[in-house]
Amino acid sequence: DIQMTQSPLSVSASLGDTVTITCRASQGINIWVGWYQQKPGKAPALLIYGASNLRTGVPSRFSGSGSGTDFTLTISGLQPEDFATYYCQEADSFPYTFGQGTKLE
């Protein structure tokens, strides 16, 4: 199984800051990574698919990059609604493993 290692597991930031979260796959997965945002008590919401494609309706301050084994999610100009937990997910093969999650506070 492919392992997805996220870092950091928590990050403190302030409004207007730029935050970068990384995800490393245990083997090459081309561009098959998605990024989600999850708020307490809510289902995850897809932000990015195919490593860098912004889902329709997601603010442009969110961006994704990477290919192969190393991927990043960047949030530029933090807004109050961005404080949440973020997960990466490999979309290359079963069992579509998620990263451990990064809590942004």
Partner 1 sequence: EVQLVESGGGLNQPGGSLRLSCAASGLTVSSNYMSWVRQAPGKGLEWISVIYIDGSTYYADSVKGRFTISRDNSNNTLFLQMNKLRVEDTAVYYCARGLAENDYWGQGSLVTVSS
| Contacting positions for partner 1 (CB under 8 A) | 32, 34, 36, 38, 42-46, 49-50, 55, 87, 89-91, 94-101
State in angstroms the smallest separation of the CB of 95 from partner 1. Answer: 5
State in angstroms the smallest separation of the CB of 14 from partner 1. Answer: 26
Bridge-based pairing of strands 10-11 and 85-90 is: unpaired
Q: Which is nearer to partner 1, 1 or 18 (CB)?
A: 1
State in angstroms the smallest separation of the CB of 72 from partner 1. Answer: 16
Q: Which is nearer to partner 1, 8 or 77 (CB)?
A: 8
Residues 82, 38 contacting (CB under 8 angstroms): no
Smallest CA-to-CA distance from 31 within 64, 5, 67 is with: 67
The CA distances from residue 93 to 29, 39, 60, 61, 72, in Å, are 9, 26, 28, 29, 20
Q: Which is nearer to partner 1, 49 or 62 (CB)?
A: 49
